Structure formats: C-alpha cells, structure tokens
Structure 1
Amino acid sequence: MRIKKIMTAIAGIMIVLGLNAVATAIDNPEVYTKDLPEPVPVAQLETNNHIDKMAKRYGLNPDIVKALIEEESGWLSSAEGDNGESVGLMQIQEHWHKERMKRLGVTNLYDPEQNITVGCDILSELLNKYGNYKDALSAYNSGNIHDGRQYAESILNAAK
C-alpha cells in the first residue's frame, strides 16, 4: 500500500517535470535549438585563391588540402569536433597549437583563412617529418602514423 502511494507520487512528479520541459521548449526554443552554421562560400575561398596560395607557400598539393577540409568540416567554418576542442575548416585544436598560432599571427580559428593557414602549416610540418602524405595525414588525424591510415587513404582518394 505504501509502495503504491510512493510510485503514484513519483509518476506525478515525472509528469510535472515532463510538462515543464515541454513548456520551456515552447517558451524558449533557443535553449533546445541551435542554428546550423552556413557553409563557407567555397567560391569566396577560390576567388581569393587562399587555399592555393597557402598550399603553394607550404609546398602542399591544394587538392589534398581541399579534400582534408571536406572531410574535417564539410566546409563549415564554425564546425566543432572533439567536444568543441577541434574547430574550423581544418579542425585545429588550439591547445596544441598556441605557439604556432602566435608565430603565424592567428587569433581566430573560426576565420576560414586563418584556419587554413594554421592547418597548412601543420600539414607541411608533418609532411616534412614523414616524407609522404599517407603518414602525414595519418598523423594529422590521429597523432600517429598507424591509427589514421584509413583516414589518410580516404583523403588521398578524394584528392584524385
């Protein structure tokens, strides 16, 4: 008898909480919705040739840089991954690259051109270290040359 009363009380509380959540969602939809970011106008990046300029500056294949951007962010400059730690077109983790950003004068990884500059700098360093795109892309993705193999192959196939 006592358990039945407790269960009835708990069910009542759950109903009230559920109705409260629905009312909150109706009154404040911004709490439950987030506008989807607009893709970076690829034409804008192509018009000013930033990707090609950075690829040339760093000795990279621009098609690989573009395939990497497609894979990492789908061309969304506001993309976030790894619980918000990886940001922007090339999914840069600021905490690993603060010194690099300072050296390059980069202050905003959500800015497409700044993000591409940092990403190309990273990829170039990895390419110089490993001597080939497969290992460099593996390390870009996973931090080592073994765990990112499938990722690297996907980027290289997309760049063809």
Structure 2
Amino acid sequence: MTIAVFAALTLAIAAFVGYWHMRNGELGELAKQEAELRGDLEQLDTWGKWTIDYVKIDKVVDHLSKNRLDSEARRKLTEQIWQISRSYSLDPLLILAVVAQESHGNPNARGRMKSGKASGALGLMQIKLETAQKMAQHFGLRVNTSEDLLKPEINVTVGTAYLIRLIGKYGSWKDALIAYNLGHSAVDRMLEKGQALPTRYYERVISKYWDLAHLSFL
C-alpha cells in the first residue's frame, strides 16, 4: 500500500469516525428532547386532570351547600378538598359523597340520636370534638371548641383525616365507611365475632357518589 493510499484511507476513516460521533451526538440530543417533551406532556395531562377535578369539586360544593356558603367560604372549601384529594390520591367526589350523606351539605349541621338527644357530631362530615382534636394534630390545626368544627374547611380536613386512618386500618373503603358510621370499636367487635357488617350506610354513600359523579359532568 502506497503512502498516498494509506493517507487517503486514514483520512476517510477519520472522516467516518467524525461523522459517526456527530450523528451519535445528534441522536442522543434527539432522545433527550423526546424524553423532555414526553415529560412535559405528562405534566400537562396531570395539570389538566387537576383542573377538571377542581371544577368538579366546585360544582358539587355549590350544589350541596344550597347557598349556605358565601363565595369566599365555598372557594376555601373547594381548594381544601382539592388539596386533600391530590395529597392523598383520593377521589374528591367520595369525600363529598360522605358530606352529602352526613349533613346534606349543611356546614352548621348538629347530629342527633334517634332519641332526639344531641350526638355531639358537628358540621359537614359530622365529626365529634374529641375525634377532631386527635386528627387535627396531624395537620397542625387547632380545634379548641365545637365552633371550630362548624368551619367547613376545618371540618372536611379532620373528617377526611379520620376516614383515611380508617382506610389504613381496614384496608378498604367499604369497611372504612361502615366504621365511620358505626365507630371503629363496634366494627372491631363485629369482625372479631365473625359477624357480617351492615352495608346500608356504605350503599347510601356509594349511591350519592354516583349521583354527584353524574352531576359533575352535566
């Protein structure tokens, strides 16, 4: 092989290697851009879902409150439920279905037993003061008096916290909702004895959920 041929071959190889590195770099950059674009699209999809959820919550809150909340109170309640549902991956309409079942959306509701005696349950999610004070500690909230539970955003926060704890305890929405209604001690006793849990409350909440889901898409 002559020196000239060898030199030409060397230059050709060098050019090919340079071209390969350039193309490899371009492909790597394209892959990076594609990954970034995919991430942006996924983020936009998430933001879109959050926006839809917010609109649903606001619409249902307006429906349930029946003008018992002014615009500022409704906004605070909507934002609080929206934040809770995002933070704990909960369907916001399930929270609102409990509100519908417990208080029919009345923030000033005061529960009563069949005898007519006050039960101590208060507000949108019908929470008792003792339970609320235990739950409030986990959120840095202060619940000092029964009147605090008549504030919609506080009531929903501690009520949902209690429901989340019950879900963690029983591992299902169904048993958690039954315990929310009967009390976890009563449910524990029934489960220990192998007794079937009553499902009427659960079925009512789920029925209200589907009603609210239909409403939120109208």
TM-score, scaled relative to structure 1:
0.66
Q: Is the 8 A contact 1:58 1:120 kept in 2?
A: no
Partner of 1:23: none
- 5+ residue gaps, structure 2, are 1-66, 113-117, 188-195, 211-218
Q: Is the 8 A contact 1:126 1:139 kept in 2?
A: yes
Partner of 1:97: 132
Q: What displacement does 1:155 show?
A: 0.6
Q: What displacement does 1:125 show?
A: 0.7
SS in 2 for 1:85: strand
State which of 74, 93, 99 in structure 2 corresponds to 1:63. 93
Q: What displacement does 1:112 show?
A: 0.3
- 5+ residue gaps, structure 1, are 1-37
Partner of 2:209: 159
Cα separation, 2, equivalents of 1:69 and 1:148: 20
Q: Number of matched residues?
A: 123
Q: C-alpha deviations, 1:24-50, integer Å up to 9, x for none?
A: xxxxxxxxxxxxxx6335882488432
- Let me know the Cα RMSD of the aligned residues: 2.4
Q: C-alpha deviations, 1:101-142, integer Å up to 9, x for none?
A: 244313211100000100110111111111111111000011
Partner of 2:170: 130
Cα separation, 2, equivalents of 1:53 and 1:70: 19
Which has the larger Rg?
2
TM-score, scaled relative to structure 2:
0.50
Task: Give runs of aligned pairs for residues 11-160 of structure 1, distance below 5 A.
Answer: 39-40=68-69, 44-45=74-75, 48-82=78-112, 83-104=118-139, 105-107=141-143, 108-144=148-184, 145=187, 149-160=199-210
- Residue type matched to 1:55 in 2? S
Task: State the 4+ residue runs in structure 1 displaced beyond 3 angstroms.
Answer: 40-43, 45-48, 144-148
